[in-house]
C-alpha cells in the first residue's frame, strides 16, 4: 500500500473553533444536521475544517481536536468518503462497527444510519459526492434508469485501485491548493473520481456495470476508447482517432465531451499517464523515469512531470522514492 498524504487545503480555511455548538453549526452547513458530543475531558474542542465545493463533489480536511461522538443519522442527499490521515475513528453502520485509519477508509451511503467516534488525533480527508450526480453517472454508464439507491460496501481497504482512487483525490486537492487552479484539470479529476468510484468500490450495481461495460457511449466513442487502451504506447494523433471512429472529428469530439466529459486527446493523455503511474508503482525495480515516460509517448519531460503531478499529486521521481521507502 502506498501512503496517501492529501494536501491540507490550507488556503481554503472554512472555520476553526473551540466551541461545540459553533462547530456543530459550521459542519452541518457543509454536510448535514447531526449530534456532536465530546467524550470526557473539558467539553471543549480544537476543531477546524478546510473545504472546497465543486460542481458535483466537495473535498475537505477536518479534525475535532478531541474525542467526540457524531450521530448524523442518514445522510440522505450525498455519499461521504473519509480517509484518516492521522488518528483513527470507529464507524457503526447497519449494526456493524469497524475501525477507520490510514489503512482503511470508509464510504457512508445516504440511506444507512451511521454513528462515529473520532479520537482526539483524528484528522480526515473528506469527499462529499452528491447522490443525484453519482446516480446520474451510473445511469449513463448502464444506459438505463436507476431503480434503487446505489449502496456501496462501507469499508475501503487502502490498496490496489482504492489507493489509486484516493491518490486522485489527493491530486485534486493539490490542484485546488494552488493559487490559480486549472479549471480543466479540476473538471477532469472530478469526472474521473465519479466514474472510477463506480468501477472500483463494490456496490449493488457492480455486476450489471461489468456486464454492460461502456454500452451507453456511442459506438464511435467506444471504438476510440478501445483503440487507445490497446495502442496507448504507439504514436497516435487526432487524424488516427478520427479514422478509427469512422465519424467526423466534430462528432467524435462532441461524443467524448458528452459521455466522458473529456476530449479524445485528453483521454489518450490520461490513459498514458495512468500507464506510467502503474509502471512506476508496480513494475520491477530499478526503473528510470525518462525511460518509462518515453515508452508511453512523453518526450518533453518537464511538461510530462507537470501533468503527472497535477493528476497524482507528486512528481514521477517522488512516486519512485515513496515506493522505495
The mean pLDDT value for 234-249 works out to 90
Helices (H) and strands (E) counted in the chain, each on its own, are: 12, 12
Measure Cα distances from 37 to 18, 26, 34, 82, 297 in Å. 13, 15, 10, 20, 54
| Cα(109)–Cα(75) distance, integer angstroms | 7
Residue predicted with more confidence, 192 or 264 = 264
- Residue 325 neighbours by CB under 8 Å, 6+ apart: none
Q: Judge whether 221 lies within some domain.
A: yes
The Cα 73–Cα 79 span in angstroms is: 13
Same domain membership, residue 242 and residue 195: no
Whether 3 maps to a domain, the answer reads no
Residue 4 has pLDDT above 80, yes or no: no
CATH at residue 225: 1.10.10.60
Q: What tens digit of pLDDT does each residue of 281-310 get?
A: 877 778 889 999 999 999 999 999 988 887
Average pLDDT over residues 186-195: 84
Tell me which of 209, 226, 241 is where a domain ends: 209
Q: Is 135 buried (19+), middle (13-18) or exposed (0-12) by CB count in 10 A?
A: middle
- Residue spans of alpha helices (H) in the chain: 20-30, 131-142, 160-176, 183-200, 206-212, 219-231, 238-245, 249-260, 264-282, 289-295, 301-312, 316-324
pLDDT at residue number 208: 85
Q: What is the mean pLDDT of the chain?
A: 88
Predicted confidence (pLDDT) at residue 100 exceeds the cutoff of 60? yes
- Note the pTM of the prediction, 2 decimals: 0.69
Whether residue 42 sits in one domain with residue 167: yes
Q: Percentage of residues in the chain with pLDDT exceeding 70?
A: 96
Q: Does residue 222 lie in a domain region? A: yes
Domain check: are 197 and 222 in the same one?
no
What band does 1 get if pLDDT is binned at 50, 70 and 90? very low
Within this chain, do residues 35 and 128 fall inside the same structural domain, yes or no? yes
Highest mean pLDDT among 121-125, 176-180, 266-270: 121-125
Does residue 132 share a domain with residue 16?
yes
Q: What is the per-residue pLDDT across 204-236, written as a single tens digit (0 to 9) for each? A: 999 888 776 544 678 888 889 888 988 888 889
Domain shared by 165 and 292, yes or no: no
Regarding predicted confidence, which is higher, 198 or 182?
198
168 found inside a domain? yes
**CA–CA separation, 68 vs 120, rounded Å?**
8
| Distances, alpha carbon 294 to alpha carbons 35, 232, 287, 319, in Å | 54, 12, 12, 17
Report the domain count for the chain. Answer: 2
Which of 209, 243, 274 is the endpoint of a domain? 209
**CA separation for the pair 137, 241 (Å, rounded):** 25
Residue 61: its H or E element:
strand 57-63
Q: What is the mean pLDDT of residues 70-97?
A: 93
What's the confidence (pLDDT) of residue 155?
A: 95
194 within some domain: yes
Residue 43's pLDDT band (boundaries 50, 70, 90)?
confident
pLDDT at res. 215: 45
Residue 294, domain extent: 217-324
Query: Which is nearest to 311 in space by CA: 271, 255, 253?
Result: 271
Domain final position from 209, 230, 258? 209
CA 79 vs CA 3, 57, 253, 268: distances in Å? 23, 9, 31, 30
Cell of 69: 461522538
* CATH classification at residue 174: 2.60.120.10
Q: Which three cell numbers stand for residue 296?
A: 508511453
Mean pLDDT, range 20-28, rounded to an integer = 95
Cα–Cα distance, 313 to 64 (Å, whole number): 26
Per-residue pLDDT for 261 more than 90? no
Residue 1 lies in a domain: no
Q: Is residue 5 part of a domain?
A: no
Amino acid at each position: 500500500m502506498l501512503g496517501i498524504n492529501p494536501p491540507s487545503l490550507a488556503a481554503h480555511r472554512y472555520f476553526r473553533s473551540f466551541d461545540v455548538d459553533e462547530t456543530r453549526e459550521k459542519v452541518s452547513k457543509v454536510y448535514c444536521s447531526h449530534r456532536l458530543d465530546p467524550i470526557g475531558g473539558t467539553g471543549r474542542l480544537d476543531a477546524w475544517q478546510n473545504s472546497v465545493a465543486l460542481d458535483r463533489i466537495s473535498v475537505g480536511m477536518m479534525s475535532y481536536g478531541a474525542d467526540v461522538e457524531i450521530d448524523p443519522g442518514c445522510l440522505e442527499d450525498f455519499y461521504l468518503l473519509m480517509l484518516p490521515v492521522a488518528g483513527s475513528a470507529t464507524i457503526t453502520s447497519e449494526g456493524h462497527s469497524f475501525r477507520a485509519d490510514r489503512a482503511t477508509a470508509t464510504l457512508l451511503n445516504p440511506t444507512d444510519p451511521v454513528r462515529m467516534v473520532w479520537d482526539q488525533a483524528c484528522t480526515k480527508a473528506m469527499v462529499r459526492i452528491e447522490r443525484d450526480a453519482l446516480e446520474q453517472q451510473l445511469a449513463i454508464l448502464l444506459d438505463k434508469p436507476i431503480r434503487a439507491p446505489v449502496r456501496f460496501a462501507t469499508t475501503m481497504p487502502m490498496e490496489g485501485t482504492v489507493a489509486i482512487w484516493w491518490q486522485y483525490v489527493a491530486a485534486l486537492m493539490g490542484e485546488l491548493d494552488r493559487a490559480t487552479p486549472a479549471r480543466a484539470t479540476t473538471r477532469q479529476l472530478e469526472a474521473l473520481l465519479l466514474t472510477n468510484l463506480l468501477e472500483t468500490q463494490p456496490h449493488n450495481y457492480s455486476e450489471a456495470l461489468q456486464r454492460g461495460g461502456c454500452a451507453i457511449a456511442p459506438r464511435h466513442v467506444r471504438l476510440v476508447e478501445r483503440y487507445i487502451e490497446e495502442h496507448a504506447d504507439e504514436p497516435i494523433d487526432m487524424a488516427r482517432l478520427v479514422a478509427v471512429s469512422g465519424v467526423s472529428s466534430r462528432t467524435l469530439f462532441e461524443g467524448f465531451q458528452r459521455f466522458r466529459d473529456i476530449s479524445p486527446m485528453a483521454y489518450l493523455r490520461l490513459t498514458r499517464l495512468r500507464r506510467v503511474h502503474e509502471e512506476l508503482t508496480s513494475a520491477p525495480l530499478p526503473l528510470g523515469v525518462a525511460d518509462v515516460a518515453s515508452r508511453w509517448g512523453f518526450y518533453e519531460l518537464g511538461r510530462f512531470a507537470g501533468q503527472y503531478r497535477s493528476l497524482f499529486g507528486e512528481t514521477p521521481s517522488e512516486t519512485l522514492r515513496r515506493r522505495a521507502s
